[in-house]
Structures are given as structure tokens and as C-alpha cells.
């Protein structure tokens, strides 16, 4: 039986506006309330998405006794503060990626969720996409032999708006935290949490954040992840999982619609479907129904490991955020 899970939405920006549409597709999920710093924005969002309860502060939302879980959709630098706010008030949390700005914050969030015995998960939605999961099944079945290398890129060209979330250091902007987090999550899923070597180069632009980065990770038995991220350069958004017996191509791997498996002298195997934020929301519902405070598919140790790697990358390129 599907357990009823009552959701609150914290923040009314671009991603909240998309997440809520897919949340409605999840059996048992009910979007009960939305909070914005502005009543007008909350009212607009609630009317658009048919949400019954409106709050003009995040503090009011977390005190609503009807809500089980809160989806945090604020800029990266608020993830820790808003996660702790929700946990303090007894709410389970699905927190947008990147999980935190740095590992110090991530550790605090994880420790507090465990202390409070509440569910916490990074909204690494790609992980729950059925096409992505099929590709991982191919890997686990050994269809491409031993995986030796991952090549994965995520980038786009945003307009020059230095005050905006992507380019503003005060909002923890930059390509590494915003988009490299996806290829890094794919690398950790394939090769494990602890690379033995990390190399990185980046261009830090006029606003003071990394506009593009090249990252190479080496793992214990010689596997390599060769990754790139960009917010001011269009790059192909794809992943190639390269094995001794074949390869898997995932175009736009972070919201995969298509996966193609090539093996020598065999017909390509293709799967499609996927996309959508409903799968991560369904994972939250499934964990809560089982009284789990952590997802097995996107565990907190992995979210922490990814942030630790991003810390090391930023150290190498000499990038710190205000207050770090």
C-alpha cells in the first residue's frame, strides 16, 4: 500500500516550478504547502500548481504540523541553513543539489539528520531515472566488461548576469558546484567514493566564480573519470561509460531519455523513457514508508564524498566562497 506523504515546498524558483509538476505524478504524494520570502510569489506559485496552503516565510512552513517532508529549492549557500531549519522542526528533507557548499556543512547536515532520526537526501534526480538505472544494470551484468573509463560533461552558456545565482560568488555560483556535481555523482556511482588522485583546471571569470572546469579522477585500480563542466560554454552533455567489452552512451545523462549499449559485433541495445523529477520524489516516499532515514541508492556518505571531492577541486583551482 502506498503511504500518503505530505510535501512542503521551500522556495519558488526555477527548479521548484518544475519539481512540483512531476511531484503530482507520484502516487501517494500530496503537495500541501509552499513557502516563499514573498507572499505574492507563494500565492502565484500556489495558484499555478493548485497548492492549498501558502506561507510567506520558510519559518512558518516548517512549523506546519501537517507536513511530512520538505523539498528545499533555494540557492546552494542556503542548503545547510534550510536543511537544519527543517530538521529542527521535525521535517524530513529532500535537498537540492549540490548537497552543500563544502564538506564541513555536509557533515553538519548529516550528523543532525541522524541525531534527529529524520530522512535526508540530496536531490540527485539522475540517479533515479529509469533509463540511467537500465544503463547501470547493463554495467552490473557485465555487458560492457570491466568499466575502465568514464567521460562525462555537463555545460551550457548562461547570459552574463553577475548578480544571478550561477555567476554570483555570494550565492556559491560556478560550474563545479552547479553542474560538475552530476558527472562527479556518476563517477562515484561507477567507481566508488574515494578517488586516489584528483586533477583539475578551471577558468575563474570576472565575477569570481569558475566558468568552466576540466576534472580528472583516478581510482585505485586505474579507472579514470574525465569530466568537464561549464556555465559560459556550450559543451556536449553526454556520458560515455567505457568498458573492456563495449560502451554505453548516455546523451544528456543527467536527465537521460536514451541509453545505447554497443558491444563489438553485436547489435546496439537501446532503451528510452526516463527524464523527470518524479522518480526521486517516489524514492523519498518509498523510504518514508519503510521508516528509512536514508536512501540506499543515494546515501549520505556519497553526497558527502562528492562534496569532499568538490572541496579538493576548488582548492586546486584556488576558489573560495565568501565566508569560507
Ligand X SMILES: NC(=O)c1ccc[n+]([C@@H]2O[C@H](COP(=O)([O-])OP(=O)(O)OC[C@H]3O[C@@H](n4cnc5c(N)ncnc54)[C@H](OP(=O)(O)O)[C@@H]3O)[C@@H](O)[C@H]2O)c1
Contacts of residue 259, Cβ cutoff 8 Å, sequence gap at least 6: 131, 132, 134, 135, 138, 248, 249, 250, 270, 271, 272
Q: Considering the complex, state which of residue 32 and residue 143 has its C-beta at the smaller distance from ligand X.
A: 32
Shortest distance (Å) from residue 16 CB to ligand X: 6
Question: What stretches of the chain adopt beta strand conformation (E)?
Answer: 5-10, 29-35, 53-55, 69-72, 92-95, 120-122, 147-155, 197-204, 210-218, 224-230, 238-243, 246-251, 258-263, 266-272
Angle between helical axes of 278-289 and 14-23 (0-180°, round to 10): 60
Shortest distance (Å) from residue 303 CB to ligand X: 13
Q: Considering the complex, state which of residue 108 and residue 289 has its C-beta at the smaller distance from ligand X.
A: 108
Q: Considering the complex, state which of residue 38 and residue 117 has its C-beta at the smaller distance from ligand X.
A: 38
Q: What share of the chain is helix, strand, coil (3-state, %, to 5)?
A: 35, 25, 35
Q: Considering the complex, state which of residue 160 and residue 268 has its C-beta at the smaller distance from ligand X.
A: 160
Shortest distance (Å) from residue 44 CB to ligand X: 9
Q: Considering the complex, state which of residue 158 and residue 223 has its C-beta at the smaller distance from ligand X.
A: 158
Q: How far apart are CA 211 and CA 253, in angstroms?
A: 21
Shortest distance (Å) from residue 311 CB to ligand X: 17
Shortest distance (Å) from residue 261 CB to ligand X: 25
Q: Give the interface with ligand X as residue ranges (CB under 6 A).
A: 11-16, 36-38, 41, 73-76, 78, 96-97, 123, 125, 165, 171, 178
Amino acid at each position: 500500500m502506498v503511504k500518503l506523504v505530505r510535501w512542503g515546498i521551500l522556495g519558488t524558483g526555477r527548479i521548484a516550478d518544475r519539481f512540483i509538476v512531476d511531484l503530482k505524478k507520484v502516487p501517494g504524494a500530496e503537495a500541501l504547502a509552499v513557502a516563499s520570502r514573498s507572499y505574492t510569489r507563494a500565492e502565484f506559485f500556489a495558484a499555478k500548481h493548485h497548492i492549498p496552503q501558502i506561507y510567506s516565510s520558510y519559518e512558518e512552513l516548517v512549523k506546519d504540523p501537517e507536513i511530512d517532508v520538505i523539498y528545499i529549492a533555494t540557492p546552494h549557500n542556503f542548503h545547510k541553513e534550510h536543511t537544519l531549519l527543517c530538521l529542527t522542526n521535525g521535517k524530513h528533507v529532500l535537498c537540492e543539489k549540490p548537497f552543500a557548499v563544502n564538506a564541513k556543512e555536509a557533515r553538519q547536515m548529516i550528523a543532525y539528520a541522524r541525531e534527529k532520526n529524520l530522512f535526508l537526501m540530496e536531490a540527485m534526480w539522475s540517479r533515479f531515472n529509469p533509463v540511467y538505472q537500465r544503463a547501470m544494470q547493463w554495467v552490473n551484468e557485465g555487458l560492457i566488461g570491466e568499466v575502465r573509463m568514464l567521460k562525462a560533461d555537463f555545460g551550457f552558456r548562461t547570459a552574463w548576469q553577475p548578480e544571478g545565482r550561477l555567476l554570483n560568488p555570494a550565492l556559491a555560483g560556478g560550474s563545479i558546484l552547479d553542474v560538475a556535481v552530476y558527472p562527479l555523482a556518476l563517477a562515484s556511482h561507477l567507481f566508488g567514493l574515494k578517488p586516489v588522485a584528483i586533477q583539475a583546471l578551471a577558468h575563474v571569470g570576472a565575477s569570481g566564480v569558475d566558468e568552466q572546469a576540466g576534472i580528472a579522477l583516478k581510482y585505485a585500480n586505474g579507472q579514470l573519470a574525465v569530466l568537464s563542466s561549464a556555465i559560459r560554454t556550450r559543451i556536449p552533455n553526454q556520458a560515455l561509460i567505457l568498458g573492456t567489452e563495449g560502451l554505453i552512451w548516455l546523451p544528456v545523462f543527467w536527465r537521460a531519455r536514451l541509453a545505447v549499449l554497443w558491444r563489438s559485433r553485436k547489435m546496439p541495445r537501446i532503451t528510452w523513457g526516463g527524464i523527470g523529477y518524479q522518480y526521486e520524489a517516489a524514492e523519498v516516499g518509498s523510504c518514508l514508508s519503510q521508516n528509512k532515514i536514508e536512501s540506499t541508492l543515494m546515501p549520505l556518505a556519497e553526497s558527502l564524498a562528492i562534496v569532499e571531492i568538490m572541496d579538493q577541486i576548488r582548492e586546486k583551482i584556488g576558489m573560495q566562497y565568501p565566508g569560507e
